[in-house]
């Protein structure tokens, strides 16, 4: 059975500059960013807080050293926490639960490393998604391999309303190809989402259609 206290204690052994906060479900301290080839890059002070949904969501992270400018373009939310992934991407990554060590090594440190890159190059590497609704649109356009926003909304509504074709029926995209050989793979990525969540995202996307 998963234990958040055990998860935290095991993780702190790998990150000695991070400490558990007294009377609070959170850890804080310094996190060194080290590149496997370039070596040490920088150190950030962070506060990592755990919500009731953890480990089925990312913990909330605040960069307390304030090296990152507090603006949406730098992936910082209004409450000063870091935006490290678009919401559907986070849901898929956390659907089976995550471990804190994995989160720090695979999500937080790479995110901070990209911020170091931004400070030097004034742009992000790897074509990061934009912040907010723009990033959400970019995510769905990439997953469905289409820039047609209206069509993406139609697909998401079909998923929510369970109006998908059967395997051997023509795909809804009008290609005349059987659904199982056309858009079924892309659609299947989102069948694990709760319909209430997708419905909310459809409303959000329509605000910037």
**pLDDT single digits (tens) 49-87:** 999 999 999 999 999 999 999 998 899 999 999 999 999
**pLDDT single digits (tens) 78-118:** 999 999 999 999 998 998 999 999 999 999 999 999 999 99
Identify the structural domains of the chain with CATH numbers, from first to last. Answer: 4-127 (3.10.110.10), 133-206 (no CATH)
pLDDT of amino acid 23: 87
The pairing of strands 18-20 and 26-35 is antiparallel
Whole-number Å distance between alpha carbons of 142 and 99: 27
* Summary mean pLDDT of the chain: 93
The reported pTM is 0.85
- What are the DSSP calls for 25-39, one per residue? SEEEEEEEEEETTTE
Alpha-carbon Rg for the chain in angstroms: 20
**pLDDT single digits (tens) 187-209:** 998 888 889 999 999 999 998 88
The sheet carrying 18-20 orders its strands as 18-20, 26-35, 39-49, 60-63
pLDDT of amino acid 38: 86
pLDDT band at 36 (very low <50, low <70, confident <90, very high): confident
């Amino acid at each position: 059975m998963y234990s958040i206290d055990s998860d935290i204690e095991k993780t702190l052994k790998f990150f000695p500059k991070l400490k558990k906060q007294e009377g609070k479900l959170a850890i804080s301290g310094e996190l060194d960013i080290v590149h496997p080839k370039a070596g040490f890059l920088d150190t950030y002070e962070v506060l990592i807080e755990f919500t009731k949904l953890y480990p089925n969501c990312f913990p909330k992270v605040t960069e307390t050293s304030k090296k990152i400018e507090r603006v949406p373009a730098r992936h910082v939310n209004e409450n000063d926490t870091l935006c490290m992934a678009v919401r559907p991407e986070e849901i898929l990554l956390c659907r089976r639960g995550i471990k804190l060590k994995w989160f720090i090594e695979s999500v937080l440190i790479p995110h901070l490393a990209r911020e170091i890159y931004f400070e030097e190059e004034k742009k992000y590497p790897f074509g990061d998604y934009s912040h907010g609704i723009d990033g959400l649109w970019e995510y769905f356009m990439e997953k469905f391999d289409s820039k047609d926003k209206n069509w993406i909304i139609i697909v998401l509504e079909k998923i929510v309303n369970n109006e998908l074709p059967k395997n051997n029926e023509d795909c809804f995209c009008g290609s005349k190809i059987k659904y199982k050989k056309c858009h079924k793979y892309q659609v299947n990525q989102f069948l694990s989402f709760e319909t209430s969540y997708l419905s909310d995202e459809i409303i959000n996307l329509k605000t910037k259609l």
